[in-house]
Amino acid sequence: MKDSPVFGFHYLLAGFKLITQPGIRRFVIIPLIINLALFIGFFFLLNYFIHEFNAWFVGYLPHWLHWLSAILWLIFFISFFVIFVYTFVTIANIVSAPFNSFLAEKVEFHLTGQLLEERSLLDNIKDIPRILARQLSILAYYIPRALLLLILFFIPVVQTLAALISFLFHAWLMTLTYLDYPTDNHRIAMREVRVWLDQRRWVSLGFGVGVLVCSMIPIINCFTVPAAVAGAVKFWVDQDKNINSTKSIT
């Protein structure tokens, strides 16, 4: 498969199609309900912070620079919105991680016809802390880098590129977040997942950009989390035909 962002976006579109398939739809319901509830709460929170941020930002500008406020505010708004969206998606993933892991398992079976190891309901419940820990490890990876990106917004000249850098970084994080589900089901260590993604950099970026953009669109963003999980599974299956040979100890 060519390393192109177009293929990455294709996997997300395939994910939207997969979650409508018989046998998979019922595993989307719980993540969808969680996503919808969180989106409503975050929408009102975002609305509050945007008004507060606008009042604070304009108040710090001298009168003769008010004409720049529209441009500078737009840069800060885009970055703030991207971070806010990623935070929303991160929380949604942490809350629904056990259900997303199960969804990933069912999508992989739909695509390959191969069952993962047999696990009872009790085994799945016992596995929840480890699944949550994996998602939290991504958050721990994200926070220090996000803080460094935040500093860029206060460096003259560099701040004009900060919004683009932040967008691309969060897009890549989206791919890492969702690819964690199929790779975790195969007990692939997180460091190996990052190496795997680096080898498919443009496809990964295309997938992440698609997820990030869809997460910003009302209504569609409610379906984006399960679609991204399903799309990540297809990405993993298509790009790595020899899944069993890549297993390692987490």
Which residue, among 116, 125, 88, 93, has the nearest Cα to 187 in the 3D structure? Answer: 116
> Taking a C-beta distance cutoff of 8 angstroms, is the pair 16, 221 a contact?
no
Is 134 among the domain residues?
Answer: no
Q: Could you identify the residue written with the tokens 């935040």?
A: 150
**In angstroms, rounded to a whole number, what is the distance separating the alpha carbons of residues 202 and 26?**
32
Is 49 among the domain residues?
Answer: yes
Which residue, among 9, 35, 86, 90, has the nearest Cα to 219 in the 3D structure? Answer: 35
> Taking a C-beta distance cutoff of 8 angstroms, is the pair 231, 207 a contact?
yes
Residues in the chain: 250
**In angstroms, rounded to a whole number, what is the distance separating the alpha carbons of residues 12 and 10?**
5
In this prediction, residue 123 carries a pLDDT of 65
Helix (H, G, I), strand (E, B) or coil at 10: helix
Is 77 among the domain residues?
Answer: no
Helix (H, G, I), strand (E, B) or coil at 131: helix
Which residue, among 54, 102, 63, 41, has the nearest Cα to 229 in the 3D structure? Answer: 102
How much of the chain is in helix, strand and coil states, percent to nearest 5? Answer: 80, 0, 20
> Taking a C-beta distance cutoff of 8 angstroms, is the pair 245, 25 a contact?
no
In this prediction, residue 19 carries a pLDDT of 92
Q: Which amino acid is at 153?
A: F
DSSP 243: G
In this prediction, residue 211 carries a pLDDT of 92
Structure token pair of residue 50: 């945007």
The alpha carbon of 3 is separated from its chain's Cα centroid by a whole number of angstroms, namely: 20
Overall number of domains in the chain: 1
**In angstroms, rounded to a whole number, what is the distance separating the alpha carbons of residues 41 and 85?**
12
Is 125 among the domain residues?
Answer: no
Is 131 among the domain residues?
Answer: no
Q: Which amino acid is at 14?
A: A
User: Which parts of the chain sit beneath pLDDT 50?
Assistant: 242-250
Task: For residue 23, give Cα distances in angstroms to 19, 20, 109.
Answer: 9, 9, 10
Is 121 among the domain residues?
Answer: no
Is 67 among the domain residues?
Answer: no
**In angstroms, rounded to a whole number, what is the distance separating the alpha carbons of residues 223 and 29?**
10
In this prediction, residue 73 carries a pLDDT of 63
DSSP 100: H
Crossing angle of helices 5-18/201-215, nearest 10°? 50
> Taking a C-beta distance cutoff of 8 angstroms, is the pair 211, 224 a contact?
yes
Is 40 among the domain residues?
Answer: yes
Range of the domain at 196: 5-60+96-114+141-239
